[in-house]
Amino acid sequence: MPSPGKPMTETVSAAVFSHPRWRFWPGMLIALSFLVLVLAGLVSLLQAAGSLDPSNVLGNRYLRGVVTFTVWQALLSVLMSLGLALPIALALARHSRFPGRSALLRLMELSLVLPTIVAVSGIIVVYGRQGWFTSAVSAWLPDHGWNLYGLNGILLAHVFFNAPLAARILLQALESVPEPRLRIAAQLGLQSVWLWRAVQWPALKPVLPGVIALVFTLCFTSFAIIMTLGGGPSATTLEVAIYQSLRFEMDFSQAAILALIQLAICASLWWLAFRCRADTGLLPTSARTPHLQVPGWPGQTLINGALVGLFSAFLLAPLVATTARGLPALFSPEGLAAIQNQLLPATGRSLLIAVPAGLGSVVIALLTLAAARQSEGRWHSGLPVVTGYLPLIIPPLVLGTGLFILLRPSPGTPSEGWVLVSLINSLMAVPFVLQVLRGPFLSVDAHTLRQADQLGILGWHRWRWIFWPLLRRPMALGLAYGITLSMGDFGVIAIFGSPGQPTLPVLLYQQLGSYRVESAAGTALWLLALLLIIFAGLSGLTRPKGVFRTIQRRSPYA
Amino acid sequence: MLEIRQLSFCYPGQSSGWTFGFSVAPGECLAIQGPSGSGKSTLLGLIAGFLAPDRGEILWQGQAIHNLSPWQRPVTSVFQDHNLFEHLDVFTNIGLGLHPGMKLNPEQASAINQGLTRVGLEGFGQRRPGELSGGQRQRVALLRSILRRQLVLLLDEPLTGLDTQTRSTLYRMLTEEKARGVALVLASHDEEDRRVLADRHWNL
């Protein structure tokens, strides 16, 4: 053995980024920049709003109607989504092993990763006037009076997107019930009401305020669904009204007031949710299959089976429709020409925006987490992470509106607009990427860091040997999130984008708007396939062997 | 000589803390005794630089080291657990102790392999800590500390829960370190550890 006094260890001063300030300042500067960006956007909104007289809105019947309708459809969407999600989650929690369960969970994830505009095109094929479902119902009930456009379609689409999300989060809560509690419930033979009171409700209660706030915000700030299925002034939401004020009426003052109203409602809701100690992830992160069965009531298995079957069909139908319509459309002579003339250029533009947005969101999330850890215990410790979650409270369209007003008459060129879209998309993805990275990042615990400190594993070496092996996979997943959320964006791009140089979602919207249903189906399938390839390629790296990770959700701003 | 002079520390939010004062000569083992919560681990944390003292000094060979970062001190530690990076293999765990970027020269790589053989872990270099028993993990941790050739070795319950054979191996390794002039500071509840290793006792 070597003797002391003749050091075998190397000096560590050469490690790049060794100083602790590198763990703190980049994340803190990003947080501060984001705050400044948000404040600049809000100030420009306030300035544009002029005297900021809410009576202008309250006295305006149309705008009053818009606010009322926005809240109303969001409330109904929450009720319906949770009304469906709860029994589905309970059924899936009870039946932890049945053929197709994991496929259903995947399907639920798939519906979450779908860009809104793609799913809407599928929903139109199924539930539209000539849709599969509508035609089938018409054969039995000729006077059903169903019309997809309007509140019906909005609610249907919102439930399609949010019921699986809510069900996955509720299922995760149910699956996190401690095994001993399940054992006691099984031993006591608790059923129905008592099982609910003793086991299920205590597990669901902490996550419900967060789920409600999340679903409400997503429905409240819904844009693409309202644009495509809204059906005119009687079914318009604040987001669409803001968009119309900016793009068509050029009424910045009205856009500013509407944006501020939207911000006030979203912020109040999240404030309330946090007051209720909202304890929920934005994403279901992992599935643990419980092994213990508790007794059920007679016929429960049958009813649960029917429920799960119908729910699967509900999720599957628009996807099947998109594929069935899209394949012939893509491989027809016109379709092949469209690939070359429209889809490839639009894909290029989409990737040009989405890849930097995805990379940006991962880098921002990592630096945010590092800054939060480095400032732990100090007064500013919460700043980076709180700022990281700001996009949930400040809808992207509101931020976009503020920046639009701030920067006018620029951004003049499409490329300037794309840079802004990419930046906003990247910020908007940060809460979700943060959610993916936070657990693995925090798994590098105090013991590990203490060891690393003593061994002088600092700066670049610390990243290479401590963080990178643990974060490599989650980072790939976060990148997949960032890219897919941005690829599916049809909110911010609508403000800053140029109709003459559309991204894939914008192209799809244009095709839907001009009733080119076949072309739209082809574009939807193209976009869907592209997202799946990107996602499968990146998330394949993230899935540890034998562990089923649930992932993805739809864009919060599409 | 490791000297601790009027070193005081109080955790934030607590009304009372500790004040420590002792010295340990090279080649000597000082056993710190005291019940749980008496400040043994806190003391070792202060010497290692994981905690910052409120007042007082830590000197090594007359030079103040209490203002240095953990990696700048002539100190290495072995704890009861959490000594290894779980996601890295044994060889890398030890190698990172010799160069924080794993740029090992042939002499260092050879020293690691020889060390593994010596502690009965030949062929274990590619295994992860999760694949090792508690005793094997402690042998890896101690081997890393030894190969780092630091001058002060802090031991925080390093042998707790280990079987007799592993303890004997570790006793032998630690005794050899003492013989080579390393100052040992041992915090242990176990009377046998103290009897075999300690030259002096200090009660908290």
Q: Is residue A551 part of a domain?
A: no
- The predicted complex's ipTM stands at 0.79
Give CA separation, A7 vs A298, B72, B101, B108, in Å: 74, 12, 16, 11
- Whether chain A has a CB inside 8 Å of the CB on B88: the answer is yes
B164-179 vs B134-147: helix crossing angle, rounded to 10: 10
Instruction: Say which CATH number the domain at A296 has.
Output: 1.10.3720.10
A6·B149 Cβ contact <8 A: yes
Q: Answer yes or no: is A493 within a domain.
A: yes
Min CA distance, A346 vs chain B (Å)? 42
Answer whether residue A16 is part of any domain. Answer: no
Residue B101: list chain A partners with CB under 8 A.
10, 15, 460-461, 464-465
Q: Is A373 part of any domain?
A: no
B interface test, pick of A381, A451, A463, A473 with most B CB neighbours within 10 Å: A451
Residue A113 has pLDDT above 80, yes or no: no
**A98, two tokens:** 């049945």
Q: Residue A356 and residue A348: Cα distance in Å, rounded?
A: 13
**CA-CA distance, A355 to B110, in Å (whole number)?**
45
Which range among A86-95, A132-141, A379-388, A432-441 shows the weakest confidence by mean pLDDT? A379-388
Q: What is the pLDDT of residues B99-115, one digit of tens each?
A: 888 888 999 999 999 99
A499-511: per-residue pLDDT in tens?
788 899 999 888 8
- B14: domain CATH number? 3.40.50.300
Q: What is the pLDDT of residue B103?
A: 87
| A3/B181 Cβ within 8 A | yes
Among B87, B117, B156, B177, pick the best mutation site for testing chain A contact (most A Cβ within 10 A): B87
pLDDT at A557 over 50: no
Q: CB-based contacts of A124: which residues, under 8 Å, 6+ apart?
A: A131, A148, A228, A229, A512, A517
Which secondary-structure segment (H or E) carries B4? Answer: strand B2-9
Which pair of structure tokens corresponds to residue A254? 């009205």
* Smallest Cα distance from A3 to chain B, Å: 6
Say how many CB pairs under 8 Å bridge A and B.
101
Please tell me if residue B36 touches chain A, with a CB cutoff of 8 Å. no
pLDDT > 60? residue B201: yes
Helix boundaries (H) for A380-413: 383-388, 390-393, 396-407
Q: Does B196 touch chain A (CB under 8 A)?
A: no
Report the distance separating Cα A126 and Cα A124, nearest Å.
5
The answer to whether the CB of A358 falls within 8 A of the CB of A482 is yes
Identify which has the larger pLDDT, A317 or A445.
Answer: A317
Residue A357 structure tokens: 């947005």
Whether residues B100 and A469 touch (CB distance < 8 A) is answered with: no
Q: Three-state SS for B185?
A: strand
What would the DSSP string read from start to end of A474-500?
A: HHHHHHHHHHHHHHT--SHHHHHS-TT
Q: Which residues of A touch B (CB under 8 A)?
A: 1-10, 12, 15, 447-448, 450-458, 460-462, 464-466, 469-470
Assess B200–A contact: CB distance below 8 Å, yes or no. no
> Does some domain include residue A183?
yes
| A86, B40, B41 from B37: Cα distances, Å | 47, 7, 8
* Chain B residues with beta carbon closer than 8 angstroms to that of A461: 100-101
The number of helices, as runs of H, and strands, as runs of E, in chain A is 27, 0
d(CA A263, CA A394): 6
Region for residue A108 given its phi and psi (left: phi exceeds 0; alpha: psi -120 to 50; beta: otherwise): alpha
Contacts of A456 in chain B (CB under 8 A): 71-72, 100
Identity (one letter) of the amino acid at A267? A
Exposure on the CB side of residue A55, measured as CA atoms within 13 A: 1
Q: Which pLDDT does position A165 carry in this prediction?
A: 87
With CA atoms as reference, report the closest residue to A70 among A215, A213, A240.
A240
Helix axes A504-513, A517-539, angle to 10 degrees: 160
Contact A8 B147 (CB under 8 A): yes
Domain that holds residue B146: 2-203
Q: Is residue A471 situated within a structural domain?
A: no
Cβ A469–B88 below 8 Å, yes or no? yes
Whole-number pLDDT of residue A214: 84
CA distances from A170 to A90, A91, A100 (A): 8, 11, 19
Q: Match 């607009």 to its residue by tokens.
A: A417
Is A523 within a domain? yes
B82 touches chain A (CB under 8 A): yes
- Residue A67 structural domain: 51-353+481-542
Residues 6+ apart with CB under 8 A from A555: A115, A116, A428, A484, A485, A486, A488, A489, A491
Which amino acid, residue B20?
A: F
Q: Identify all chain B residues contacting A3, using CB atoms and an 8 Å cutoff.
A: 149, 180-181
- Residue B143 pLDDT class (50, 70, 90 cuts): very high
Contact A457 B100 (CB under 8 A): yes
Residue-wise pLDDT tens digits, B9-50: 998 888 788 888 989 999 999 999 888 888 888 999 999 988
Q: Per-residue DSSP letters for A235-294? A: G--HHHHHHHHHHTS--HHHHHHHHHHHHHHHHHHHHHHHHTT----SS-----------
Read off φ and ψ for residue A268, nearest 5 degrees. Answer: -65, -40
For residue B116, the model assigns a pLDDT of 93
Which positions in chain A touch B176 (Cβ < 8 Å)? 1
Q: Which tokens go with B121?
A: 């872990």
- Triad B155, B157, B161: Cα angle to 5°: 135
How much is the pLDDT for B183? 94
| pLDDT tens string A26-64 | 878 888 888 888 788 778 777 776 665 666 666 778 888
Residues in B touching A453 (Cβ below 8 Å): 49-50, 69-71
Contacts of B156 in chain A (CB under 8 A): none
Laid out side by side, the sheet with B63-64 consists of B18-24, B2-9, B55-60, B63-64
CA distance A157 to A472: 35
Dihedral sign from CA coordinates of A398, A403, A409, A414: negative
Within 8 A of B99 by CB-CB distance, chain A residues are: 9-10
Min Cα–Cα distance to chain B from A374, Å: 14
C-alpha A105/C-alpha A92 separation (Å) is 9
Does a structural domain hold residue A445?
no
Chain A touched by B169 (CB under 8 Å)? no
**With an 8 Å Cβ cutoff, is B42 touching chain A?**
no
A495-528: b (≥16 Cβ within 10 Å) or e? bbbeeeebbbbbbbbbbbeeeebbbbbbbbbbbb
Number of domains in chain A: 1
How many angstroms separate the CA atoms of A542 and B4, rounded? 49
pLDDT confidence bin for B170, thresholds 50/70/90:
confident
Residue B57: which pLDDT band, with cuts at 50, 70 and 90?
A: very high
Q: Is residue B25 less than 8 Å (CB to CB) from chain A?
A: no
Q: Tell me if B82 and A470 make a contact (CB, 8 A cut-off).
A: no
Identify any residues that bridge with B155 across adjacent strands, giving them in sequence order: B78, B186
Is B151's CB within 8 Å of A4's CB? yes
Chain B hits for A447, Cβ within 8 Å: 79, 82
CB contact under 8 A, A453 and B49: yes
Instruction: Give contacts of B98 with chain A, Cβ < 8 Å.
Output: 8-10
Domain count, chain B: 1
